[in-house]
Chains A and B, each alone.
Chain A
């Protein structure tokens, strides 16, 4: 019998259920955890980018007030660690990374020693009393310099500072280059960023009376943290409970294994007391992973009509001093696999080198690799349009993959497949909302009066929700691609859902409830979601790679379906009819076409638990757990447009309008989806216009050491974002959803750069590297004017 869905919440812009506690100041973040007898850890960090440690003198710190323990790296060697990455591209050379440096430091900020004291103030005071003697070594900061002959070497087992070489090839680029009317090259820098979650990292490890250890950590991946901490500290995994309470933003930075994640559990066991570590903001700038940090050399071969024939890419991905958790995968699989973007470019050749330098380790940050990949494709096609003086929209249209070509494998790739999409549809919708033609003429008209406006366009697609597990094995992951969900119905018919996903602000309580409500056909108020406690949630991978709705949501969907299937069996027994005659809708099981009185879901739930009258072969209880391993990955896509005005006299860029049209498949909650776009786009605008980590190239000092010099945008730095959607359902999961979290930060950087370049086109400026700060834009205009004058 077909069920009908009287309750249909997917697609509804529901307001968030989780808001109230946050608005009332009742959110509970790790720093809010306060336990009796809790001690505080503080870390002494290296002031040098590269140095031998000659001696660490802890004596003065040991006798400082309130101090309970002081340790250097030597004391920990062999006891905990080393820190190993979780994603290692086959063939990579993995440098040895101790938890605390023993004889060499390799970046400013690396842990050198630690203090545990009764108060945080005392711990800081004692850290100030530790004396370390260093022999300073030459440092290398830049990825291009690091691979040169004679560059300072970081690790004995990483000759030339290259850990990984990764190649992708489809068709024959050389052939395409020969057939082309033009071949142009361009070098682009993808600036190094600091993810900057407003909540910095923090961790509390607490020994429990029963001999287990509870670890509170703002983790995007609680179950993975449990495994990593267990293995690296030497605690049996089942005796470790990881609790991720509310998280103040993650953006990729809170899914890696950091030294402090290991130190607190180790010290808590050593001292038999809760040990807390809280990261100050300036500390965070040198101890939490950075993002991006690429240089790419691009060559694009194309015809006079703007059709691109071939693309060649050389990527250098700067990963900092060690291979962090996923570091070898970002500049490789996640970047160059997607280098052709939304365009049909059959002849493609890419090589990526992963490079170590004396800088903070670089790892996943919102989009991880896909922003860099999209930047390659978009900067290339924009260069083609500029070179041929063709309209940027026309050139994209000419090169787009066509709707009929999905599922589409770019450049004949075996690894990359875009499941669905309609790029023309996105473009048309975006152009209409933006009034592209009107603004084009407006730009032209204003130029006469010395007003420089420009329009930027960027299109993107990527793959997210890494799966299936088998595929992750091939690319070198030590994890799977599934997600788990347990739907537990209580005897009153209400649901508690234990999800392996982990919200860091996305609003999973609301969106996962919407998914479950539609299948369970019960009111959303009757659904509770539990995340972030490995004692409660059976298993999981967590939230990253825009996977929570596609994979986590699907697992909720499937386990809810199993609940309904079992409930239907029980209902059939209660109704004394055949199961296939029972229909379910809006919380009631009925037998259509008869006058048999329906039974409600709560009644069936009660029956499941009392077990008085269950059909043969049906066990009591209404509780289903699913480990959902998708068959493939969804491909979100989008077209973004920006309208800017550049003041050539000051270099200031004013953003007049921003339109985002995104195809993320089925929309579960349009309100929350738009929120993801707003936030992602602003992070992308930040990369394009404001943010950049800088190091002194000579001594490796971090020059953007706090929020005083690292420019995270404020409200007045960014515009309203007009977010629109197109829905092309993904065939890879039962809901049809694709990921959304990373879309904005992928599309916005090239879109903004193109808008500024368009505004500056009268000056003949063809390329600028991000961030397009006023001084940088002004300098480019000056140079162009001088060039024109000569």
Chain B
């Protein structure tokens, strides 16, 4: 039986950059992203995989990074909120729509929400209000009451832009 504190080497691509990190097997992907890679835009809002604050993309799919082990992401390509914009650069369409429609207050849920909305619009480029609300089932926002988040997404429907 291997030592419990055995470290595993994980190599992944994060926002286009290759990184190699040695981690404990039990380390969660979200902690790798926040602690080892210093990308603190991905948040932790719960411990039961419900809130979606930790949502990132693995190989183009939105997932909850609190429910994936860092070791499981070996070889994967990951996009976090920081991958959508560079300082001073323009916001991506989803981010811009959130600003336009006042779809954020405290901002804590926002990065995860934005990552989920990208998935939602990839799956359904022209969602109805019902589709939007159903598609946000994996993300909790306590501030906005969702009203303006739904408006922001509606404004993006079928614009044809890459989310």
Contacts and interface: CB of A to CB of B under 8 A. Distances in A.
Interface of A: 15-16, 18-29, 31-32, 34, 121, 196-200, 246-249, 251, 280-282, 504-507, 671-672, 674-675, 678-683, 706-708, 712, 714-716, 718, 720-721, 744
B32 interface: no
Contact of B102 (A200, A249, A281, A675): A675
B48 A715 contact: no
A66 to B, nearest CB: 10
B110 A23 contact: yes
Contacts of B70: none
A150 to B, nearest CB: 39
Given A199-B45, A708-B50, A25 B80 contact: yes
B136 A716 contact: yes
A495 B80 CA distance: 35
Nearest to B107: A22
B107 A246 contact: yes
Interface in B132-163: 132-134, 136-137, 139-150
12 contacts: A15-B100, A16-B99, A22-B106, A34-B38, A199-B106, A505-B108, A675-B102, A708-B48, A712-B142, A715-B150, A720-B147, A721-B147
Contacts of A25: 39-42, 80-82, 84, 111
Nearest to A14: B102
Contacts of B100: 15
A391 B138 CA distance: 41
A720 B47 CA distance: 29
Contact of A679 (B130, B139, B143): B143
B113 to A, nearest CB: 10
A281 B46 contact: yes
A30 to B, nearest CB: 11
Given A20-B91, A121-B26, 20 more contacts: A15-B99, A22-B110, A23-B91, A23-B104, A24-B85, A31-B40, A31-B43, A32-B40, A197-B142, A198-B43, A198-B108, A198-B143, A280-B47, A281-B48, A675-B105, A680-B145, A681-B145, A682-B145, A714-B136, A744-B145
Contacts of A23: 81, 85, 91, 95, 98-99, 104, 107, 110, 114
Nearest to A280: B47
Contacts of B35: 34
Interface in B7-65: 24, 26, 34-35, 38-48, 50-51, 53
Contacts of A681: 145
Given A19-B99, A249-B106, A199 B43 contact: yes
Q: Mostly helix, strand, loop or mixed at chain B's interface?
A: loop
A679 B141 CA distance: 9
B114 A679 contact: no
Contact of A678 (B38, B106, B110, B147): B147
A246 B43 CA distance: 13
Nearest to A714: B137
Interface of B: 24, 26, 34-35, 38-48, 50-51, 53, 80-82, 84-85, 87, 91, 95, 98-100, 102, 104-111, 114, 129-130, 132-134, 136-137, 139-150
Q: Mostly helix, strand, loop or mixed at chain A's interface?
A: loop
B105 A196 contact: no
B146 A682 contact: yes
A720 B150 contact: yes
Nearest to A721: B147
B132 A715 contact: yes
Contact of B145 (A15, A247, A678): A678
A246 B48 contact: no
Given A121-B26, A282-B48, A27 B107 contact: yes
B106 A715 contact: no
Contacts of B105: 249, 505-507, 675, 679
A507 to B, nearest CB: 7
A90 B25 CA distance: 56
B145 A248 contact: no
Nearest to A199: B108
B38 to A, nearest CB: 8
A249 B105 CA distance: 8
Contacts of A31: 34, 40, 43-44
A198 B48 contact: no
Contacts of B38: 34
A718 B143 CA distance: 13
Contacts of A712: 140, 142
Contacts of A281: 45-48, 51
Contacts of B39: 25
What 3 pairs between A and B have smallest CB-CB spacing? A25-B41, A22-B107, A505-B106
B147 A707 contact: no
A707 B110 contact: no
A714 B140 contact: yes
A16 B148 CA distance: 14
Contacts of A121: 24, 26
A29 B43 contact: yes
B91 A198 contact: no
A679 B35 CA distance: 31
B51 A198 contact: yes
Contacts of B142: 196-198, 249, 251, 679, 683, 712
A716 B134 contact: yes
B95 A716 contact: no
A571 to B, nearest CB: 37
Contacts of A718: 145-146
A281 B144 CA distance: 20
B47 A282 contact: yes
Contacts of A27: 41, 107-108, 110
A198 B106 contact: yes
Contacts of A21: 107
Nearest to A681: B145
Contacts of B133: 714-716
Contact of B149 (A247, A282, A715): A715
B17 to A, nearest CB: 15
Nearest to A27: B107
Contacts of B44: 31
A248 B108 contact: yes
B85 to A, nearest CB: 5
A19 B97 CA distance: 11
A350 B144 CA distance: 35
B41 A26 contact: yes
B147 to A, nearest CB: 4
A706 B47 contact: yes
B99 A247 contact: no
A706 B48 contact: yes
B141 A198 contact: yes
A199 to B, nearest CB: 5
Contact of B53 (A198, A251, A671): A198
